[in-house]
Amino acid sequence: MIVGICKLDLRIRGCGSLKEKRQVLRKIKDRVASRLNVTVAEVGNQDLWQRAEMGFAVVGNDSRVLEGLMERTCNFIEELDLSETLDRYTEIIHI
């Protein structure tokens, strides 16, 4: 079994409240889930208006397929143009 994990550090432009931030994150989560069938969760910076850490994990038996899916997911989030990716951490774990 191979597990791929990814954590994104995002800047959300134009948010003036946590409510606005949650709306943007909900859009990102819903679009990624419907397009790529990947569930994304907020994993850090919950109390900051214009910053968010989002993470997701994928499981499979081919590391190249997992790396491709993680790359497509990260690129899709960037292409949504709802946030700016400041940093990205990915890791492939062989179990």
pLDDT digits (tens, 9 = 90+) for 46-61: 888 899 999 999 999 9
Q: What is the DSSP string of 2-27?
A: EEEEEEEEEE-TT--SHHHHHHHHHH
- Which residue bears the tokens 């859009």? 27
Q: How many CB atoms lie within 10 A of CB 45?
A: 17
Contact 83, 24 (CB under 8 A): yes
* Domain 2-94: assigned CATH number: 3.30.70.1120
**How far apart, in whole angstroms, are the C-alpha atoms of residue 6 and residue 58?**
9
Q: How many residues does the chain have?
A: 95
Residue type, 73: T
Residues 9-26 have pLDDT tens digits of 999 988 889 999 999 999
Greatest CA separation for the chain: 43
Average pLDDT, the chain: 93
